């Protein structure tokens, strides 16, 4: 176990993946590891940016409770301006938080149908021999 820790601590990730390739690990697995490594840092940076925007917007709403808003519907904190949403073709769209749904919020019919379909599919996959049926289609029996 300690040798694995020393290896990962002293070798770059692309070199480790190249070593996995030379050990005949499937290429799809190695490519997926490389994509994960590449985009993990991007996702971490983006989540930090979104967290910062949420915190800035939350501090703005607490500071403006009870105050009148201007003609633009309430200006964002200056540091939150780069975090605004931009929709192509629609100009700027301001994201608004309306709070959690109330106790009598409607549950749309399409959501109920989707939930029933996913739950029914999961039960069918668990109870029926779907893999045997798919195997027989592939083998021509």
- Which tokens hold the place of 22? 């030379």
Same domain assignment for residues 84 and 139: no
* Average pLDDT over the chain, rounded to an integer: 76
Whether residue 41 is contained in a domain is answered as: yes
Same domain assignment for residues 94 and 130: no
Whether residue 137 is contained in a domain is answered as: yes
Instruction: Render pLDDT for 60-90 as a digit per residue (tens, 0 to 9).
Output: 655 444 444 444 444 555 554 444 444 444 4
Provide the domain limits for residue 82. 1-64+75-99
Same domain assignment for residues 29 and 85: yes
Q: Report the alpha-carbon distance of residue 33 to residue 42 in Å, rounded.
A: 15
Same domain assignment for residues 93 and 119: no
Q: Report the alpha-carbon distance of residue 53 to residue 83 in Å, rounded.
A: 6
- Which tokens hold the place of 109? 């019919």
Q: How many CB atoms lie within 10 A of CB 125?
A: 11
Instruction: Render pLDDT for 19-40 as a digit per residue (tens, 0 to 9).
Output: 999 999 999 999 999 988 888 8
Whether residue 94 is contained in a domain is answered as: yes
Same domain assignment for residues 46 and 90: yes
Task: Indicate the pTM of the whole model.
Answer: 0.35
Q: Which residues contact 38 (CB under 8 A, 6 or more apart)?
A: none
Find, among 61, 58, 19, 13, the residue nearest to 39 by Cα: 13
Same domain assignment for residues 5 and 56: yes
Whether residue 129 is contained in a domain is answered as: yes
Whether residue 70 is contained in a domain is answered as: no
Least confident of 32-36, 57-61, 93-97: 93-97
């Amino acid at each position: 176990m300690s040798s694995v820790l020393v290896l990962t601590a002293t070798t770059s990730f692309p070199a480790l993946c190249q070593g996995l390739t030379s050990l005949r690990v499937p290429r799809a697995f190695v490519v997926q590891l490389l994509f994960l490594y590449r985009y993990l840092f991007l996702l971490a940076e983006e989540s930090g940016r979104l967290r910062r925007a949420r915190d800035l917007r939350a501090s703005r709403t607490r500071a403006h409770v009870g105050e009148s808003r201007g003609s633009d519907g309430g200006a964002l904190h200056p540091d939150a301006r780069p975090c605004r949403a931009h929709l192509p073709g629609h100009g700027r769209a301001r994201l608004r938080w309306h709070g959690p749904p109330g106790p009598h919020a409607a549950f749309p019919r399409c959501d109920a149908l989707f939930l029933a379909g996913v739950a029914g599919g999961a039960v069918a996959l668990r109870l029926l021999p779907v893999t045997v049926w798919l195997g027989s289609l592939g083998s021509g029996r």
